[in-house]
Amino acid sequence: MNIEPKIRKILLIEDDPNLGMLLQEYLAHKQFDVVLKRNGQEGLLEYRKGSYDLILLDIMMPKMDGFTVAEEIRKDDTDTPIIFLTAKSMKEDKIKGLKLGADDYITKPFSMEILEL
Amino acid sequence: MNRHLLSFSLALIVIGLLGVSTVQTLWLKSAVQNRKADFDQRVYESMEEISYNIENIGYQPYIKEFLEELNSDSLANAQFQKWISIDSNSQAQLDSNNLNTDAQLSRQEFNRLYRAQIREFQQMLIREMISIRPIEEIIDIDKLKLLIEDVLKHHGLNTKVEFGITEFADNNFIYVSPGADLGNLFHTEYTTKLFRRSIFDENKLLKITFPEKKKFFIISFLMPILSSIVFLIMIIVAFAASYRIIFKQKKLSDMKTDFINNMTHELKTPIATISIASEMLKDKGISSIEENRTKYANIIFEENKRLSNHVEQVLQIARLEKDEIQLNKEERDIHGIIRLLVKHFKLISEDYSAIIDLELNATETHYIIDEMHFTNAIKNLLSNALQYNDKKPYIVISTYNTKDGGINISVKDNGIGLSKDNQKKIFDKFYRVQGGNLHDTKGFGLGLNYVKSIVEAHNGTISVESKLKEGTTFNITLHK
């Protein structure tokens, strides 16, 4: 992927507090600018407010699930890369995610190297 | 695609059943027609037989009687004597000839002529007399009735019969069996000459109707129709039952898939968190700071605890399923347990800023229970009351003694409530009010199933009352 050099601002949408916090700190440590949102609805609002280079998205979340968020984002933006971060590892879910326009799919537990792109 | 197969087979079954019922109906229709033709055939055969046999009960006895009368009848005798007197002259002559051969022949010839003349005379008289005599004297009506019934029965027409006799015209009834409908008799197609072989009286017709013909048909088709219906119903019921089972299984398997998804999510999240935290600890740049080390170590510790909790919960249910639950029952003070639990629970539920009120009204509070499982059960109800709430949680735990010495413990909340449909299902294993990817609340769908199992292991009962948006109350009743 040649998007790597441009990515600076990341929107992280993850409902688990520990995991979200860790990811945020880790990515911040890697010199990324990370905004963390706790559920799909807030994430989508945040996405509409600012401009992001990458969206990291959990699937199973309160208020609005990750698939719906991705769908909403893809309605008017086909450029911003979306990566699903999820525990769901079933094929149908992967296909569904990629069909919705996600750029990649990372299943939990994941190693940080993958996130480093 | 599974669903397509299911609806395809459902369509096949519906078409098949419709086909079978149509074929059955058509078959029955043609069978009814055949049966009608067969009925008519039998009636015509019967009537033929009746008219042959009428001569036995009607004419012949009457003729016999008539012949006897003839001998004593003066008018007839006078006529007769005239014949005889001519005869006796020649007879005397013959006698005097003393039985020669010629005379013998002529005597035979005479006898032949004599008998023929007598027969002709008799017939004339009979014809005259019969036509003027009332029918009851010509034929014994009771015997005729018996004959008709016997013959019909013999031909398999065991149904009520009415008959009438007409003379000269279709509607000129000279006899009608008691209770018979004249209109039916007039229109009936079952008609025969009463004295069919008779040359004396050919104007009388016997007419038969079957007032219960319809009933007779219905009865003779009752069995095949009923059994067809019963078998069809059996097939439909069996298919409906199979479909119910299939759908139930499908739902269960959906629920299990949901559970597995849910479980992987619940298990993998702490694993992912631990893996990231440990990676960060490995990173020298991060772990060189003392504060970071403690923070990440704490996270690992917490997540590990979460993991083992999850595993324990799943194992607990697995044990319950195998009925391996070991209750360590001892006499315990239920109010004491509730107070202690609420004290702990308030600490762990600080985030929710919930209010938990106690209305412990029971006077008898000592029951034989397993403290650990009982506490867990109440705790599950409390955490549901917290989780399924969109307002500031207000929970009331109340107790009272029942009339038979038991205790009722209720946990009432002001949460989101349950729909009627959900109220039925919440105690089912793996059932979660919210399925799919939306995760407002975490859980495996095992909590209430566990509560129910525990209450039942204590020979107690659990019930739920709820109204959407207003709240839910769980009632547990334990017996002494």
The number of residues in chain A equals: 117
CA A54 to chain centre: 7
Task: Name which of A15, A22, A63, A100 to mutate to probe chain B: the one with the most chain B Cβ atoms within 10 A of its Cβ.
Answer: A22
Extents of the domains making up chain B? 28-58+139-211, 59-135, 241-318, 330-478
Q: What is the DSSP string of B270-301?
A: HHHHHHHHHHHHHSHHHHTSHHHHHHHHHHHH
Q: Would you give the DSSP letter of residue A61?
A: B
Q: 3-state DSSP helix/strand/coil percent for chain A, to nearest 5?
A: 40, 20, 40
Amino acid type, B65 = E
Q: How far is B259 from chain A (nearest CA, A)?
A: 12
pLDDT value at residue A3: 45
Does the domain at residues B28-58+139-211 carry the CATH identifier 3.30.450? yes
Taking the whole predicted model, whether its pTM rises above 0.80 is answered as: no
Q: With b meaning 16 or more CB within 10 Å and e meaning fewer, what string describes B271-287? A: bbbbbbbebbbebeebe
Q: Which residues pair with A13 in a beta bridge?
A: A37, A57
Q: For B322-370, where are the alpha helices, taking DSSP H only?
A: 334-348
* Interval B358-409: pLDDT, tens: 999 999 889 999 888 888 889 888 888 887 888 888 999 999 999 888 999 9
Contact B195, B55 (CB under 8 A): yes
Q: What is the CATH number of the domain that holds A43?
A: 3.40.50.2300
Contact A108 B437 (CB under 8 A): no
Tokens (6 digits) for B352: 């929710």
Question: Which of B457, B430, B476, B303 lies closest to B372, judged by CA?
Answer: B457
* Interval B287-322: pLDDT, tens: 788 888 888 898 899 889 888 888 877 777 677 666
Q: Does residue A115 lie in a domain region?
A: no
Contact B437 A67 (CB under 8 A): yes
Q: Does residue A4 lie in a domain region?
A: no
- Among the four given CATH numbers 3.40.50.150, 3.30.565.10, 3.40.50.620, 3.60.20.10, the one describing domain B330-478: 3.30.565.10
Q: Would you give the DSSP letter of residue B350?
A: G
Q: Does residue A44 lie in a domain region?
A: yes
- Among the four given CATH numbers 2.120.10.30, 1.20.5.50, 3.30.70.20, 1.10.287.130, the one describing domain B241-318: 1.10.287.130
Q: Does residue A42 lie in a domain region?
A: yes
pLDDT value at residue B311: 84
Q: Which residues pair with A104 in a beta bridge?
A: A83
* Interval A16-53: pLDDT, tens: 888 888 888 888 887 888 888 888 888 888 888 888 88
Gap between the Cα atoms of B68 and B79, Å rounded: 16
Q: How far is B351 from chain A (nearest CA, A)?
A: 13
The number of residues in chain B equals: 480
Gap between the Cα atoms of B451 and B380, Å rounded: 7
Residues with Cβ within 8 Å of residue B290, at least 6 apart in sequence: none
Contact B440 A87 (CB under 8 A): no
Contact A86 B299 (CB under 8 A): no
Residue listed under structure tokens 């001569």? B55
Closest partner residue to B276 (CB to CB) among A61, A87, A112 is: A112
Amino acid type, A98 = L
Domain total in chain A: 1
Task: Give residue A47's domain range.
Answer: 9-110
Handedness of CA B167, B172, B177, B183 (dihedral sign): positive
* Interval B61-82: pLDDT, tens: 555 565 565 555 444 455 555 5
Handedness of CA B32, B35, B41, B47 (dihedral sign): negative
Gap between the Cα atoms of B28 and B220, Å rounded: 12
